[in-house]
Each structure stands twice: as C-alpha cells, then as structure tokens.
C-alpha cells in the first residue's frame, strides 16, 4: 500500500467519523443561522403560500431603531445587569459556605444546586405563587404593591430578575464549587501558615485564584440572561410584557412571530440580539480577561 | 528561634494510625532532617508543627509552650512546600512580602525586608516577575525567601528539592544549609532522599511506619544503625544484609566461612557496607547480576547463596566482572554488624 493510499484511507475514515455531528450541526444550526439572514431581508406574510416582499436592509434599520426594539433592548440590558452580578455573587457566597468542612454540608450542596436543574416553568410558577397579591408570601409579610408585582411597570422586571437570579445561582454555585475544589491545597495552606487572616485569605488568595471561574460565570450568565424568555411567557404573557417593561428581546422575537406575524422582523431582532450579545462577550474578553489569573500557567 | 518538642504524639486518620508515640526534640537552631520512606508519617509530623493537622494524642511544644489549638497563623513558623505553593497571581516581590502583610511593619519596612530576603537568595532582578515566568529553581528560591522574610521561630521544609533536576538539587542543597547556618533558625526538613539527609542535617531522625526508628548524626546512623531498617535505608547503597549462621565462633554465609566472632551458635543477619566487601578468587560464591558504573566507582550486584543480593563497591580502575560471570567475594572488615534474625534489632557484644 502506497503512502498516498494510506493518507486517503485515513482522510476518508476521519470524514466518516465527523459526518454525523457535522450533518446535525449543518441542519439544525448553520442552515437556520444563514437562512435567518435571508429572512431579515423580506416582509414575510403571516400565511404560507403568499409571496414575500423584498425590503432589503431597510427592514433591519427600521426594526432596530424602533421604540419597541429600543425599549426591549433596555429591558434586556437592565435584566442582565440585575441577574448576572447578583447571580454570580449569590453562587459564590453559597459555594464558599458549602466548601466549609462541616457536618451535613453535602445535603446543602444538593439543595443549593437544585435551582440549576429546575425548569424555568417550575421556577416561574413557584415565584408566581409567592408573589401572588392574595395568598402569596409577600402579602403575608405585609408587603403589597399596587398594581401587583407582575402587573407593575416598576416591579415586574425586578420580579423577573429575582427568578433569573434564583435559576442562575444554582449554576453559579456549581461552577464556584468546582472552582474552589480545584484550587491547589498547598497554596491555601501556605496562606494560612503565612499568617493571613480568613478575610485576607479570601480576598487576596481565593478570589484572584477563582478569577477564571468568575470570568466564565459572568460570560455564560450574560449570554443566558440576554436570551431570557421563560418566566416572561409563564407569568406575564403576550400583550402584557410591553406595558410592564418586561418585553425582553427574546420575548419580542417570539411576539414578532406569534402576535403580529412577520418572521422577517423576528429575524432582524434575532440578528441584532446575536450581534449585541457577541459584542458584550467580546468586550468582556477584551477588558475582563486580562484580570484573570490562570493557576496552571 | 525556638526548640520544638514532640511528646508522645500520635495521629490517626479514620482507622489509619499514621504516627505512634512520637517523641522528638529539635534543639534551638538545629537543622533536623526527618527521613523515611513514603507514607512513614514524616510529612504528617511536619504539618502538625505547622498547625495544618492536630495531633490525636500527645502534644507539640514550640519554645517550651504547647501549641495545642493554636491556629497556624499564630504559631510563627514558616513552611516551604514540595510544590513551592507560590501565589500565581502575585509578583515575586508580593509573594515574598505576603507574610509581612499580617505584621505591623510600615510599607517601607516591609519593602526593605523583601529586598533583603530577595538579595540573600539572588532574586533581586526578578522581583516584578510572576511565578509562571520563573524556572523551577527560581520558584524554589522565592518560596525560601517567603519563608525567611518575617524571621520565624521555625522553618518547616517538606521535600522542597524533589521537583528540581539532579544538578540544581545538589546546588540548592548546599545553599539551604548555608542559609540555615547564617540565620540560625531551627529547621525541620522532611525528605525520603537519604543523600539529602546525610549532607544537610545536623541530626537525622529516621522514621518507618509511623514510628521513630533512630535519631543521630549522619555518621552515627551510617556506622551504628540500631536495626536492619536504618542500616538498609541510610547510605547509598544501603548496608548489605546477609542471612548467616554462627557456628563455633565462625560466621557462615551458606557454607562459606567469612569472619570469626565469638558467641552462641545461632541464625543471625550480618550487615556489611558495600565498601567492606571485595571480589576475590575464593570466598562466598555468587553470580554478577548487574553493574552500575558511576564514573569514579562501580557497584557490582552479586546474587549470593539463598537468593540474597549484595552490592560490592569497587574503584572504576579495577577489572570489573562480566554480567552472568560466576565469582566470589570476601568480607574485608573484621567487625561487621549483627542483627537478630527474628527482631531485626542490632545485636551488640
């Protein structure tokens, strides 16, 4: 067998191995992604069979400069700004607590991490009950707002953010728990023998060494928050999100397809959401990653 | 500086007893080496002095005071870890200065101390670098500088040279000894490398299976081991241990008479250093099973009667046997050491 035929046989084998994954990615990710760009150039009629109308780039510029889009962008960014830092902080606090060598801590670890595996529908239903103006937890504490939280223009978005924080906290907790367990034990012991107080050890050693995990949690949390959808759909619903300022971009995409059906507008918003999220992620890498210290280096 | 004393210290992890009845006094200013194989409890003993582990029984005294319940940060000891344990996000200067943050000194004083420690270890040019930009030897020096910067009462070193290559290890060995002599700080140094122990320690404490076997100067341990474990562990190569019979005042290895030593007829273990054995035309028969050529000398491994192997040290310029060659060797010393065949403890005349 010649060297050339061996190389061809190896190449065929390699392509055969990646073919299933490549097919799935092509059909379900690459093709829809590219098709979306085409959709954004047309006004798509609500019923199949009717002709699409070519609008070109004009549809995109009109959509992303509209008040509806800008209000939605504002709601999305506000939501992200509430959920990500607080979710990261809460996860870190829980992980540090669960990292203590205390009896029964394994049970707390399980409890803390359950929010990561809970469905958003379940979480939304639980919080919907707690925020219920009649038989919820807050009225029981004597906290009542009018209109109620889920219909309130000021408080609906923070209420959605609390659900988001509760959900993200579990993932954040898992990430930080893994991060804390991977810290080199000898370095932590060195800090102890070097005379550092617990507070100094935490801020001068633990936090800097956890910086890769913090950065990862921020990046992942931001992407997830920018695409949030579930609790708005379960608790507020189509039509009410606009006046309660909870019309996030992902929900606006959904409404653009279901309420005023125009898949072209939905495609424009989804492209804008993809671009904005990519930009934020790029900026995070550009400005935050330089502060990250990788232990293994 | 302070004396460190272990009083009947025991340590148990779950059902595993790793240290038993450990009694040891490290004198003020002494360089003591804890030597033993992996898992013998030497690192546990060191960690208990640092406060990273608490004894299950007994007590540890530093400077005459019990440190039971005293947190590591309040013991005024410094530790150099096997992996160096440098803070990866801090520069060399900040790594060295880290222990000073918990002291009351001004920023200027601390900077001065950091510079002095860095100069002492030849790190003056590297102060702004991060640990990832340093070689293994440089990292090791930073760990040492961090240990000495706040002038602790005791240095604890846990196999600090094990990650260095052979040349650097030899060089750094000498530097640590010089540094300790200059500072005069009580030092406990843990190693499983008997060459390190022999060349560095004022005294060596040999441990095995959680028990202290023997403590003494390197020469005492080499020449006067109390049992076969110490005899075979100290020295390179370790002492040859030959099962033998004493009959009518003559020591027989197999059927070959070796040396005359008066005493009752019995089975014993004869200990002979490799330099006290010599290849000869007659003597104990054997087969050359391996040759280690070390430059100035050669270690000849010989399979002796009864499945025993001995190592004979000979000069490189002496004719060496071939592998598989049948040969004989004799005992050249008139006073080999003898050990009880059952207890393996030293038999003294």
Tell me: the pLDDT tens digits for B234-284? 998 999 999 999 999 899 998 888 888 888 889 999 999 999 999 998 899
- How many residues are listed for chain A in this entry? 297
Residue B329 DSSP symbol: E
Residues of B in contact with A297 (CB under 8 A): 88, 132
User: Mind giving me the DSSP string for B78-112?
Assistant: EEE-TT----TTS-HHHHHHGGGGGS---HHHHHH
Section B314-338 average pLDDT: 92
Asked whether the beta carbons of A164 and A225 are under 8 A apart, the reply is yes
Which chain B residues are Cβ-neighbours of A213 within 8 angstroms? Answer: none
Q: Cβ–Cβ of B103/A195 closer than 8 Å?
A: yes
Q: Find out whether the peptide bond into A285 is cis, omega within 30 degrees of 0.
A: no
Main-chain phi, psi angles of B292, to 5 degrees: -115, 110
Q: Which two tokens stand for residue B196?
A: 């390190």
Closest residue by Cα to residue A263 from A68, A70, A32, A31? A32
CA terminus-to-terminus distance, chain A: 44
Structure-token pair, residue B180: 């300790």
What does DSSP say about strands B31-35 and B203-208: parallel, antiparallel, or unpaired? Answer: parallel
* pLDDT for the residue numbered A171: 94
Q: Nearest residue on chain A to B87, judged by CA atoms?
A: A187
Token digits of residue A24: 């799935």
Residue B215's SS3 state is: strand
Q: How far apart are CA B206 and CA B33, in angstroms?
A: 8
Q: Which residues of B are less than 8 Å from A292 in CB distance?
A: none
Adjacency order of strands within the sheet including B57-62: B16-26, B4-13, B57-62, B65-66
Tokens standing for A203? 């801020």
Position B333 scores a pLDDT of 92
Backbone angles phi, psi at B264, to 5 degrees: -70, 155
Please check the confidence at residue B214 and state whether its pLDDT lies above 70.
yes
H or E element: which one contains A159? helix A156-182
Q: Which residues of A touch B132 (CB under 8 A)?
A: 297
Res B191: pLDDT: 96
DSSP one-letter code for A52: P
How far does B23 lie from chain A, in Å, by closest CA?
24
- Taking residues B24-37, what's their average pLDDT? 96
Token pair recorded at residue B192: 């499983």
* 3-state secondary structure at position B212: strand
**A146: three-class secondary structure by DSSP:** coil
What gap in Å lies between CA A56 and CA B153, rounded to an integer?
A: 78
Q: How close is the nearest chain B Cα to the Cα of A296, in Å?
A: 8
Question: What does the alpha-carbon distance between residue A59 and residue B212 come to, in Å, rounded to a whole number?
Answer: 84
B306 and B243 Cβ atoms separated by less than 8 Å:
yes
Say if CB A249 and CB A272 are below 8 A apart: yes
Of the candidates B22, B207, B90, the residue with the CA atom closest to the CA atom of residue A190:
B90
| Residues belonging to chain B | 349
Q: Are A280 and A60 in contact (CB under 8 A)?
A: no
**Hey, is B29 helix, strand or coil?**
coil
Omega of the bond prior to B237 within 30 degrees of 0, cis?
A: yes
Phi, psi torsion values for A259, nearest 5 degrees: -85, -55
For A109, phi and psi rounded to 5 degrees?
-60, -45
Residue B100: per-residue pLDDT: 94
pLDDT, tens only, B104-158: 788 999 999 999 999 988 898 999 999 999 998 899 999 999 999 989 999 999 9
CB atoms inside a 10 Å sphere around CB B25: 14
Rounded distance, CA B31 to CA B50, Å?
16
**Within an 8 Å CB–CB cutoff, is residue A207 touching chain B?**
no
pLDDT at B166 over 80: yes
Which of chain A's residues have a Cβ under 8 Å away from the Cβ of B52?
A: 189, 192-193
The owner of tokens 């012991």 is A189
**Residues of chain A scoring pLDDT < 70:** 1, 295-297
Look at residues B67, B73, B68 and name the one whose alpha carbon lies nearest to residue B3: B67
Structure tokens at B307: 């499945």
Residue B43, SS3 per DSSP: helix
Tokens coding B48 = 């208990």
pLDDT at B58: 96
List CB contacts (< 8 A) between B159 and chain A.
none
Q: Do the chains contact at B87 and A189, CB–CB below 8 Å?
A: no
Instruction: Give A 177-206 residues with CB within 8 A of chain B.
Output: 184, 186-187, 189-197, 200, 204-205
Phi then psi for A230, rounded to 5 degrees? -55, -55
pLDDT recorded at residue A47: 80
Mean pLDDT of chain B: 93
| Local structure of residue B345 (DSSP, 8 states) | B
Average pLDDT over residues B305-330: 91
Q: How many other CB atoms are found less than 10 A from the CB of residue A139?
A: 16
Is B86 in contact with A205 (Cβ distance < 8 A)? no
Of B73, B81, B82, the CB nearest to A195: B73
Instruction: Round to whole Å and give the CA distance between B341 and B246.
Output: 12
Number of neighbours of residue A114 by Cβ within 10 angstroms: 11
The pLDDT of residue A297: 53
Q: pLDDT at position B307, please?
A: 86
CB burial readout B317-348, b (16+ within 10 A) else e: eeebbeeeeebbbbbeeeebbbbeeeeeebee
pLDDT (tens digit, 9 = 90+) per residue, B39-81?
A: 999 999 999 999 999 999 999 999 999 999 999 989 999 999 9
Distance, CA of B269 to CA of B1 (rounded, Å)? 43
Quickly list H helices, A53-155. Answer: 57-64, 67-98, 105-117, 120-130, 137-140
Q: How far is residue A252's CA from residue A259's CA, in Å, rounded to a whole number?
A: 10
| Contact predicate B5/B26, CB 8 Å | yes
């Amino acid at each position: 067998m010649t060297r050339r035929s061996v190389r061809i046989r190896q190449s065929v084998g390699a392509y055969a191995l990646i073919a299933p994954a490549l097919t799935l990615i092509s059909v379900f990710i690459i093709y829809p992604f590219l098709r979306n760009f085409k959709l954004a150039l047309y006004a798509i009629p609500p019923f199949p069979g009717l002709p699409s109308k070519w609008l070109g780039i004009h549809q995109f510029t009109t959509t992303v400069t509209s008040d509806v889009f800008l209000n939605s962008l504002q709601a999305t960014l506000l939501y992200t700004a509430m959920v990500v830092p607080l979710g990261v902080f809460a996860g870190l606090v829980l992980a540090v607590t669960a990292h203590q060598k205390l009896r029964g801590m394994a049970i707390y670890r399980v409890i803390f991490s359950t929010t990561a595996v809970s469905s958003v529908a379940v979480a939304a239903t639980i919080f919907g009950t707690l925020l219920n103006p009649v038989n919820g937890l807050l009225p029981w504490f004597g906290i009542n707002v009018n209109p109620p939280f889920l219909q309130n223009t000021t408080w609906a978005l923070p209420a959605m953010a609390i659900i988001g924080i509760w959900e993200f906290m579990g993932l954040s907790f898992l990430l930080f728990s893994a991060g804390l367990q991977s810290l080199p034990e000898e370095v932590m012991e060195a800090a102890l023998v070097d005379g550092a107080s617990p507070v100094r050890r935490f801020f001068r050693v633990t936090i800097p060494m956890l910086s890769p995990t913090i950065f990862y949690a921020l990046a992942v949390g931001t992407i997830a928050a920018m695409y949030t959808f579930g609790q708005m759909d379960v608790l507020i619903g189509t039509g009410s999100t606009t006046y309660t300022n909870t019309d996030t971009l992902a929900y606006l995409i959904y409404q653009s397809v279901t309420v005023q059906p125009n898949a072209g507008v939905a495609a424009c918003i989804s492209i804008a959401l993809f671009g904005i999220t990519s930009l934020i992620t790029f900026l995070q890498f550009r400005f935050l990653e330089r502060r990250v210290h990788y232990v293994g280096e | 500086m302070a004396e460190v004393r272990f009083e009947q210290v025991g340590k148990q992890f779950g059902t595993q007893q790793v240290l038993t009845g450990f009694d040891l006094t490290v004198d003020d200013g002494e360089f003591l080496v804890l030597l033993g194989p992996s898992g013998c409890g030497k690192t546990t003993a060191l960690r208990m002095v640092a406060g990273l582990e608490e004894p299950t029984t007994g007590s540890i005294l530093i400077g005459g005071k019990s440190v039971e319940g005293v947190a590591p940060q309040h013991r005024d000891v410094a530790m150099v870890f096997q992996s160096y344990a440098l803070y990866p996000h801090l520069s060399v200067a900040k790594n060295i200065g880290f222990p000073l943050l918990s002291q009351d000194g001004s920023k200027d004083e601390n900077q001065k101390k950091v510079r002095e420690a860095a100069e002492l270890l030849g790190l003056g040019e590297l102060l702004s670098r991060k640990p990832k930009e340093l070689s293994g030897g440089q990292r090791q020096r930073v760990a040492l500088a961090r240990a000495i910067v706040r002038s602790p009462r005791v240095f604890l070193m846990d196999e600090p040279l094990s990650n260095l290559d052979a040349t650097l290890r030899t060089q750094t060995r000498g530097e640590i000894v010089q540094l300790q002599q200059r500072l005069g700080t009580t030092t406990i140094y843990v190693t499983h490398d008997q060459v390190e122990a022999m060349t560095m320690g004022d005294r060596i404490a040999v441990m095995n299976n959680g028990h202290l076997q023997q403590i003494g100067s390197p020469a005492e341990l080499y020449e006067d081991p109390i049992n076969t474990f110490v005899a075979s562990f100290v020295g390179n190569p370790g002492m040859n241990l030959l099962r033998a019979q004493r009959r009518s005042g003559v020591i027989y290895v197999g059927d070959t008479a070796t040396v005359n030593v008066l005493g009752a007829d019995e089975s014993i273990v004869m200990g002979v250093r490799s330099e006290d054995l010599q290849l000869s035309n007659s003597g104990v028969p054997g087969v050359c099973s391996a040759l280690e050529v070390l430059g100035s000398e050669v270690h000849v491994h010989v399979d002796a009667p009864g499945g025993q192997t001995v190592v004979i040290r000979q000069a490189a310029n002496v004719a060496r046997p071939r592998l598989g060659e049948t040969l004989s060797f004799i005992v050249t010393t008139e006073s080999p050491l003898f050990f009880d065949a059952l207890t393996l403890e030293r038999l003294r005349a």
